[in-house]
């Protein structure tokens, strides 16, 4: 099928007339004759009309507001529509608003098939593919597709048919030969096609694509646009933003919508652009690419007044004078498409989107099971989150074991052991927290895309990441603890070891949750600065440098809010509490007296103002902190997902 697309790309794109106007583009033969994606249910085409659609942003306190765009327009089904304009014209903003991604600050009407848009229903029939490819790089093309199919296809499509659907889509998009390739190793064009393939699984009626050709070479650009054309010819409404296309590529679009400074300069058939320019008194020079010329006009290169003339000429998008004869064209196209696919297109087909009242295609349980499978594959292959994390725990464990060799049962080395306990605490906190801060913002991007396109609910996503993190954290923590505990000769009692390990796991999980909070709210750069900085007060209040009894009165609240304090107190309790017997004191080299200050553990506990019997309470409090933090990440994530919109 790659051949088909390549063939289509090479097919005659319509000849250009002497005045630069495009002659009717010859339909790409390969596309017109190929029978593609017949498995997909045929659904009522969608027309989107928008009136007085405006988006206003606040410029900050007492700085007033700024209107970014105010436009009108109509996008018809079975058409490939290009939104064009200079940088900053408002193309992405318009796409964000029309797709329903941006909702706050938006006024005006969006009508879908003549009825006011119901955003939930609209989202069930559309998809939005943003500019950056947000894909799971560790999964192969096939795995990405299979898991997406499980999430996006309802029970009405039997599982046995999933592979046939996937094969068809991959075949159409020229990705069949790359099905075993990991996504991270695909080229830019292949990634773009995979992004489209993933959204095609549930046959959206409307597809919004933000700059799908940016970063692609001319051949990949041509393939991508041909593919979009093919999808439009199947009855979908395909709207995409594009930067200055070549003349031949421009001809591929059925309809163009030109924006400048948030207003519409032209909307109508691609072929009517040149006549329109002549009508408004800015004729396109001979042998000039109309796409280039209109962008020059939109940039104001031919005079600022021309922009106003063009906005008036199209009545800011209200005028439909330059449209193709829509009803005839669409009806004809649908008939020929029906003939081609050997199906009967009924005038009023029931839309899947209407039948399925839930936002997601599959049940909550199914979403979790698919997300767990996907997470498991990623964990198995992840070099940083799994392999390196385990390796670092082993290496640091060994280093600490060597440095604090046999310090745990030695009365003369209690202070060394105290240092070791604090170091272990910081190790658990920093490694997990920073790893999450560095990796979660990337996950957030994927979550944003998949959640908006209704792959799964936030609830199932959040539950799955909570479950997935547990085994890795527990294994890494246990390996580290066993190494350090044995090498530093801590008391060999199951209860003490159990409490020690329990405290370690809870500290790891709390630190991870703090990382999630920071990673969800801030970028990698800000998070990398904020997370360690915010951890300093936690360390300060842990009771290590300044003992709890020496804290000034006005800071006495501090240790109560520091989870590290409960961690340290729990460690000390597990090692020196539980009525630990007198410690042995070896002769100290270089000292001529045998005074051993911390021979009695109670003496040490008294000096650091910690109660050795508080470890059960510490476990409980850490558990409560973990629960509260985990529960508060969910609404924050939710807020973050919707805040940008």
Question: Interface residues with ligand ATP (CB under 6 A)?
Answer: 57, 66, 68, 85, 87-93
Residue pair 207/47 in contact (Cβ under 8 Å)? The answer is no
Annotate 175-193 with b (16+ C-beta within 10 A) or e (fewer).
bbebbebbbeebeebbbbb
* Bridge pairing between strands 263-269 and 255-260: antiparallel
Distances (CA, A) of 257 to 10, 78, 244, 251: 26, 16, 13, 14
**C-beta closer to ligand ATP: residue 91 or 565:** 91
Q: Whose Cβ is closer to ligand ATP: residue 73's or residue 401's?
A: 73
What strands lie across the sheet with 106-112, from one edge to the other?
65-75, 48-58, 106-112, 115-116
Cβ closest to ligand ATP, residue 210 vs residue 251: 210
Cβ closest to ligand ATP, residue 88 vs residue 303 = 88
CB of 632 to ligand ATP, least distance (A): 27
Dist CA 204 CA 228 (whole Å):
13
Q: How far is the CB of 134 from ligand ATP (least distance, A)?
A: 17
Q: Which is nearer to ligand ATP, 68 or 538 (CB)?
A: 68
| CB nearer ligand ATP, residue 578 or residue 640 | 640
284 close to 20: Cβ distance less than 8 angstroms = yes
Tally Cβ neighbours within 10 Å of residue 430.
15
CA 14/CA 36 separation, integer angstroms: 23
The CB-of-110 to ligand ATP minimum distance in angstroms stands at 17
Shortest Cβ 308–ligand ATP spacing (Å): 18
Count the neighbouring beta carbons within 10 Å of the beta carbon of residue 142: 18
What one-character DSSP code corresponds to residue 266? E
Q: Which is nearer to ligand ATP, 90 or 411 (CB)?
A: 90
In the complex with ligand ATP, the residue whose CB is nearer, 30 or 207, is 207
Q: How many CB atoms lie within 10 A of CB 463?
A: 17
Considering the complex, what minimum distance in angstroms separates the CB of residue 95 from ligand ATP? Answer: 8
H helix intervals, 88-132: 91-99, 119-125
269, two tokens:
């058939």
At CA 46, angle to CA 56 and CA 54, rounded to 5?
10
Q: Which is nearer to ligand ATP, 86 or 601 (CB)?
A: 86
Min dist. Cβ of residue 242 to ligand ATP (A): 10
Question: Minimum Å distance from CB 322 to ligand ATP?
Answer: 22
Instruction: Report the nearest approach of ligand ATP to the CB of residue 89 (Å).
Output: 4
Q: What is the DSSP string of 42-66?
A: P-----EEEEEEEEEEE-STTS-EE
The structure tokens 């103002």 sit at 609
CB of 294 to ligand ATP, least distance (A): 14
Between residues 54 and 479, which has the closer beta carbon with respect to ligand ATP? 54
What is the number of H-type helices and E-type strands within the chain?
A: 24, 10
Beta strand 80-84 with 237-241: parallel, antiparallel or unpaired?
parallel
Nearest to 607 by CA among 575, 572, 566: 572
Residue 317 Cβ vs ligand ATP, minimum distance, rounded to whole Å: 15
Least distance CB 397 / ligand ATP (angstroms): 48
CA distances from 208 to 69, 75, 204, 446 (A): 18, 11, 10, 17
Q: Tokens 């040149």 correspond to what residue?
A: 274
Q: How many CA atoms lie within 13 A of 484 on its CB side?
A: 28
Q: Which is nearer to ligand ATP, 101 or 598 (CB)?
A: 101
């Amino acid at each position: 099928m790659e051949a088909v697309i390549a063939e289509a790309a090479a097919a005659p794109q319509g000849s250009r007339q002497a005045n630069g106007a495009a002659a009717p583009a010859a339909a790409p033969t390969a596309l017109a004759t190929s029978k593609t994606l017949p498995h997909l249910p045929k659904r009522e085409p969608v027309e989107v009309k928008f009136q007085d659609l405006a988006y206003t942003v606040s410029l900050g306190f007492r700085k007033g507001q700024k209107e970014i765009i105010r436009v009108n327009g109509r996008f018809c089904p079975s058409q490939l529509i290009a939104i064009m304009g200079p940088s900053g014209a408002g193309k992405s903003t318009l796409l964000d608003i029309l797709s329903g991604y941006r909702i706050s600050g938006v006024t005006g009407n969006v009508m879908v098939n003549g009825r006011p848009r119901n955003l939930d229903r609209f989202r069930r029939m559309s998809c939005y593919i943003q500019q950056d490819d947000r894909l799971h790089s560790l999964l192969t093309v096939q795995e990405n597709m299979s898991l997406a199919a499980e999430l996006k296809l309802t029970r009405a499509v039997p599982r046995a048919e999933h592979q046939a659907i996937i094969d068809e889509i991959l075949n159409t998009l020229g990705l069949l030969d790359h099905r075993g390739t990991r996504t991270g190793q695909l080229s830019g064009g292949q990634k773009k096609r995979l992004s489209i393939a993933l959204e095609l699984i549930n046959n959206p009626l409307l597809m919004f694509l933000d700059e799908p050709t940016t970063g692609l070479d001319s051949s990949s650009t041509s393939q991508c646009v041909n593919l979009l054309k093919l999808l439009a010819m199947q009855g979908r409404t395909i709207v995409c933003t594009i930067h200055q296309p070549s003349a031949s590529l421009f001809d591929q679009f059925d309809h163009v919508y030109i924006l400048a400074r948030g207003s519409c300069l032209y909307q109508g058939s691609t072929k009517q652009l040149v006549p329109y320019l002549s009508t408004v008194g800015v004729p396109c020079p001979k042998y000039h690419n109309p796409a280039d010329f209109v962008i020059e006009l939109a940039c104001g290169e031919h005079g600022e007044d021309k922009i106003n003339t063009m906005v008036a000429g199209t009545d800011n998008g209200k005028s439909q004078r330059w449209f193709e004869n829509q009803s005839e064209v669409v009806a004809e196209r649908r008939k020929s498409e029906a003939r081609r696919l050997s199906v009967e297109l009924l005038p009023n087909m029931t839309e899947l989107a209407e039948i399925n009242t839930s936002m997601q295609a599959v049940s909550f349980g199914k979403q979790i099971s698919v997300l767990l499978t996907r997470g498991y594959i990623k964990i198995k292959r992840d070099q940083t989150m799994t392999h390196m994390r385990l390796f670092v725990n082993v290496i640091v464990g060994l280093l600490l074991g060597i440095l604090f060799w046999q310090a745990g049962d030695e009365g003369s080395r209690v202070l060394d052991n105290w240092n070791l306990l604090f170091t272990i605490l910081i190790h658990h906190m920093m490694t997990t927290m920073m790893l999450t801060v560095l990796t979660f913002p990337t996950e957030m991007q994927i979550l944003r895309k998949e959640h908006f396109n209704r792959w799964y609910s936030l609830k199932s996503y959040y539950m799955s990441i909570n479950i997935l993190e547990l085994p890795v954290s527990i294994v890494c923590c246990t390996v580290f603890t066993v190494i350090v505990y044995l090498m530093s000769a801590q008391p060999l009692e199951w209860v003490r070891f159990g409490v020690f390990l329990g405290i370690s796991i809870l500290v790891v999980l709390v630190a991870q949750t703090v990382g999630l909070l920071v990673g969800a709210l801030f970028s990698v750069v800000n998070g990398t600065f904020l997370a360690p900085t915010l951890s300093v007060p936690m360390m300060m209040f842990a009771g290590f440098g300044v003992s709890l009894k020496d804290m000034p009165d006005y800071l006495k609240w501090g240790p109560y809010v520091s989870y590290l304090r409960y961690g340290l107190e729990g460690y000390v309790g597990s090692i020196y509490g539980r009525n630990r017997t007198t410690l042995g004191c070896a002769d100290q080299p270089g000292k001529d007296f045998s005074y051993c200050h911390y021979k009695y553990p109670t003496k040490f506990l008294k000096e650091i103002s910690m109660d050795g019997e508080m470890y059960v309470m510490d476990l409980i409090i850490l558990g409560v902190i973990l629960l509260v933090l985990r529960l508060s990440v969910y609404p924050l994530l939710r807020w973050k997902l919707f805040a940008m919109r």
